Chains A and B, each alone.
Chain A
Amino acid sequence: GQNIDQPTEMTATEGAIVQINCTYQTSGFNGLFWYQQHAGEAPTFLSYNVLDGLEEKGRFSSFLSRSKGYSYLLLKELQMKDSASYLCAVRGRNSGYALNFGKGTSLLVTP
């Protein structure tokens, strides 16, 4: 089976930097995904890591360490519209194409 843990809630200030951590235990590993989900809306794809290291995409970056079962999503220059739930998902080698999601981290950006 797979176990994915991420903090339930985080609060940060507009213009700041925030790091959302995700740890996972999986039988086999075939990629880690981050999605953003605003209330009542579709999860939106942010990043996909399959190799160790940092992937940077504009204000958002994602890091992966397979040996530690650890990832983080880094959000820079926070904006009010970044207030949302951030979902970490892992695809295990033995789980086919299914994504296994954590419960999500609810981020509140304050003025």
Chain B
Amino acid sequence: NAGVMQNPRHLVRRRGQEARLRCSPMKGHSHVYWYRQLPEEGLKFMVYLQKENIIDESGMPKERFSAEFPKEGPSILRIQQVVRGDSAAYFCASSPDRGPTQAKNIQYFGAGTRLSVL
């Protein structure tokens, strides 16, 4: 069972361009979470999605950021008109659909996409 897959691992964009980050959850997981990690900071929650639905986007900036998790394909975190302050590592996590309550609460992380904005 492959782990959570994120691509690309590294992404370089110029200011004003768009960044698209992809996340494929583990098999049997339909819950996806996105986190952002700034240098010297802890992981910060951005958004929680289930297939085709945004469940909680309380940590997502109101402008320029959007996320989706279509019925088919990976979850996408999209950042429009990137600025230097968007430079960070973006991590995706997934959790299982079935199992004991404790097991369903565990989030498994991908290796992240490191976004650099020039």
B interface footprint on A36-53 (CB within 8 Å = 1, 0 otherwise): 000011111100101000
Count residues on chain A whose CB falls below 8 Å from chain B CBs: 26
Q: What would 9 A/B residue contacts be, using CB atoms closer than 8 Å?
A: A33-B107, A40-B111, A43-B43, A44-B109, A50-B105, A97-B31, A99-B43, A99-B45, A101-B42
Which of chain B's residues has its CB closest to A85's CB?
Answer: B42
A interface footprint on B104-118 (CB within 8 Å = 1, 0 otherwise): 011111111000000
Q: In the complex the two chains form, what is the Cα distance from A101 to B59 in whole Å?
A: 13
Q: In the complex the two chains form, what is the Cα distance from A86 to B83 in whole Å?
A: 30
List chain A positions with a Cβ less than 8 A from chain B: 4, 30-31, 33, 35, 40-45, 48, 50, 87, 89, 91, 95-104
Asked whether, in the complex, the Cβ of B58 is within 8 Å of the Cβ of A42, the reply is no
Q: In the complex the two chains form, what is the Cα distance from A42 to B56 in whole Å?
A: 23
Q: In the complex the two chains form, what is the Cα distance from A33 to B95 in whole Å?
A: 14
Residues of the A chain whose Cβ atoms lie less than 8 Å from the Cβ of B43: 43, 87, 89, 99, 101
Taking the closest CB of chain A, its distance from the CB of B9, in whole angstroms, is 9
Taking the closest CB of chain B, its distance from the CB of A73, in whole angstroms, is 15
Residues of the A chain whose Cβ atoms lie less than 8 Å from the Cβ of B48: 96-98
Asked whether, in the complex, the Cβ of A48 is within 8 Å of the Cβ of B105, the reply is yes
Which of chain A's residues has its CB closest to B104's CB?
Answer: A97
